Chain A
Amino acid sequence: MTRAIVGLSTCGVAAGAEAVLATLKERVDAQTLDLQVGFTGCIGMCYREPLVEIRTDSGERFIYGPMNEKRIDRLLSQHIQEGKPIEEWLVWTNNGLGSDREFLNHQVRIVLRNCGLINPESISDYIAQEGYKAIQKALKELTPDALIGIMIDSGLRGRGGAGFPTGMKWRFTRLSAGPRKFIICNADEGDPGAFMDRSVLEGDPHSVLEGMLIAGYAIGAHEGYIYVRAEYPKAIERLKIAIRQAEEKGFLGNNVFGADFSFGIKIKEGAGAFVCGEETALMKSIEGKRGMPRIRPPFPAVKGLWDSPTSINNVETFANVPWIVTNGAAAFSHYGTERSKGTKVFALAGKINRGGLVEVPMGVTIRDIVYNICSGIKDNRRFKAVQIGGPSGGCVPIQLQDTIIDYDSISRTGAIMGSGGMVVMDETTCMVDVARFFLDFTQRESCGKCTFCRIGTRRMLEILTRITEGKGELGDLDLLDDLAQKIKDNSLCGLGQTAPNPVLTTLKYFRGEYEAHILSRKCPAHHCTALIIFSVIAALCDGCTACARICPVKCISGTKGEVHVIHQNLCTKCGECYRVCPRDAILKD
């Protein structure tokens, strides 16, 4: 039977997908149509949500978006009853049509192989896509050492950001002696601007469970934890369903698939602390303590959760694992560059036309992603920079847009690969403000253990704030540089060591913007409110009174038909006049 499938990830729901699903069900019932209504996770085209896919028995796929309740009737009558797809709403089909087909056609989907394809709350959907085949193959055909060998050969590196080879981590944990060992899935996706892990957990939770099972078998662990942020209620709900289903089937529990291997998985909800994404802090948090990092070594592979050998891997890393076991190391390492194999999922957001979730082979360029997949910058503005790696990363400027995506190339720019958040910025984004934004974040999230991280980030924030307020001095830039180096050198964990990166990269590539704030008291992006002045261009003003009427503080005077005046002493620089003026007679400088 033909199916209508609605994308029900958090982004889809926020855009109104639940109402679309409800209307669809209601109409199909009322008209007794031969159509089965279902749902899936994240298709990746967040900018076109809500999305509805029509999938026929013969395998034809048509994705429509954005859909709303009003468009359902025409979809049902024209596509389902008359059999004529509605071309103007189509975003992608699997036979080369759709307005946004480049978005999906340039991708290589390994991690996201099932996202948007299967019902994430159905274990049989996952099994139908060869799900749980990899663990069975591992248990029957592979010794743990052979399995670890495959992971090493595949070249898979940790997708949480640091890029440590996964197979090596497993080997170290396997070699550590201990009566009890643990697998932890790090799903504490805290980087602002990143939502890859959420989408995988919401779209294909069983792939993560299977990855953990395989890791457990390889290492000799029988217990697994998934540490998820509490801000992801839908991911937690779907994980709970998936764990229950896997337990009922006997895929989790004692003697998995009849083999001499037992494995259980528990969910631990985070409680809102960014630093808990750091592995030693995360383990403290699972133990029920304040999530503060500790010195490494000993590494978790030797002394981890409750002092037992532990392997902590990221959600995306685990989602890769079953695919590698099924398809072999060579199939995986076929993709990518010399030192970075496979694919990487990126969450694209910011000033681009198509924001969403993309999976690309390592080795493509930033330009490929921004222009070929995401269709360039919104409103025909100019691409300025892309922020990669969140608070630990940095801003890569347009002149480096041909940088290829792999761990080493991105590190050379001063940013880091990180977990995969990419926020694209245009000429209206102030880079000093971006640096201030990230320092505000790290300063709040610093756990307070190391002095330089606790106080140094605060001092940096104060300096950045005064620069954006037009109170900066030239010596501030040297002071920032000096503090940045000291925080890097004197912090214990990754949070502190990388906290200065957003400042260092913007200082390196956008020093002119800092200097403009300090020397000429101007914000070149016209963003920092303390440094902009709104005024009326007398030659263009025809006295329509639109600005005077919208001004919330009534600081614009003038009678109808005459040139208006903005009284600077009262102006709060909200920009409403600039927005409403029909003749572009307001100057923002």
Chain B
Amino acid sequence: MDERQFNFRRMHYEGAEGALIPLLQKAQEEMGYIPIEAIQMIYERTGIPPSEIYGVATFYAQFRLKPVGKYIVRVCHGTACHVANAKSITDAICDTLNIASGETTPDRLFTIETVSCLGCCSLAPVIMINEQTFGNLTTSSVKKVIKRYMKENGK
């Protein structure tokens, strides 16, 4: 792994209490996922055993041990979205991108995730692409959203 990709000085680790989760978050922010090397480096810096770091990284849904796409498409499956047929939204996105939920497109542009609740229940069904939220979707409007992102990236 390229050291320059994962600059510890930028991670502001000062031996602070409870720093493990922020360290993992920073590593993921920089690299999009947590490679095994990152766990090794965090161990060397902090002395926290790799087993414990791995335990924390696998406990929380946010952390990924595999690389992801440039865009993470989070499909909300909260209560309001569920009764507004969120499943059909997931199906439409999977259809458009030709991958299953949890997978990444071969060009590493999109990853589809289902999440528990994005908290925009009045606009159900809702998705989030990176930090942008889209609401009141239908199977056809969500396809348009995805296609717009594909077009912006020359696909």
Residues of chain B having any CB pair with chain A under 8 Å: 17-22, 24-25, 52, 55-56, 59-63, 77-80, 82-83, 115-124, 126, 128, 131, 133-136
Expressed in whole angstroms, the minimum distance between the Cβ of B14 and any Cβ of chain A is 13
B120 with A10: CB separation less than 8 A: yes
Expressed in whole angstroms, the minimum distance between the Cβ of A100 and any Cβ of chain B is 13
Q: On chain A, which size bracket covers the interface?
A: 35 or more
Interface residues of A in 507-548 (CB under 8 A from B): none
- CB contact under 8 A between A272 and B55, given known A286-B18, A287-B18: no
Expressed in whole angstroms, the minimum distance between the Cβ of B15 and any Cβ of chain A is 12
User: What are the residues of chain B within 8 A of A423 when measuring CB–CB?
Assistant: 79-80, 83, 121
A10 with B80: CB separation less than 8 A: no
* Docked CA distance A81–B19 (Å): 56
Segment at the B interface, from A70-78, A111-119, A226-234, A322-330: A226-234
Q: In the complex, which of the residues B22, B55, B117, B119 has the most CB atoms of chain A within 10 Å of its own CB atom? A: B119
* Docked CA distance A421–B77 (Å): 15
The residue on A at minimum CB distance from B82 is A437
B133 with A14: CB separation less than 8 A: yes
Expressed in whole angstroms, the minimum distance between the Cβ of B128 and any Cβ of chain A is 8
B121 with A271: CB separation less than 8 A: no
B121 with A347: CB separation less than 8 A: yes
B119 with A288: CB separation less than 8 A: no
* Docked CA distance A90–B8 (Å): 54
The residue on B at minimum CB distance from A230 is B62
- CB contact under 8 A between A355 and B60, given known A287-B17, A290-B55: no
Task: Name the contact of B122 in the complex, choosing from A232, A306, A349 (C-beta under 8 A).
Answer: A349
A288 with B121: CB separation less than 8 A: no
User: What are the residues of chain B within 8 A of A407 when measuring CB–CB?
Assistant: none
Interface residues of A in 332-354 (CB under 8 A from B): 347-351
Q: In the complex, which of the residues B18, B52, B63, B124 has the most CB atoms of chain A within 10 Å of its own CB atom? A: B18
Expressed in whole angstroms, the minimum distance between the Cβ of B51 and any Cβ of chain A is 12
User: What are the residues of chain B within 8 A of A429 when measuring CB–CB?
Assistant: 83
- CB contact under 8 A between A349 and B121, given known A387-B79, A423-B80: yes
Task: Name the contact of B123 in the complex, choosing from A15, A288, A351, A434 (C-beta under 8 A).
Answer: A15
- CB contact under 8 A between A356 and B122, given known A193-B79, A350-B79, A350-B80: yes
B17 with A232: CB separation less than 8 A: no
* Docked CA distance A213–B134 (Å): 36
Task: Name the contact of A290 in the complex, choosing from B17, B19, B56 (C-beta under 8 A).
Answer: B56
In the complex, whether A217 has a CB less than 8 A from a CB of chain B is no
Pairs across A and B, CB under 8 Å, 15 listed: A10-B120, A47-B122, A190-B117, A192-B82, A195-B119, A195-B121, A231-B128, A268-B22, A273-B60, A286-B18, A287-B17, A348-B122, A351-B83, A356-B122, A437-B79
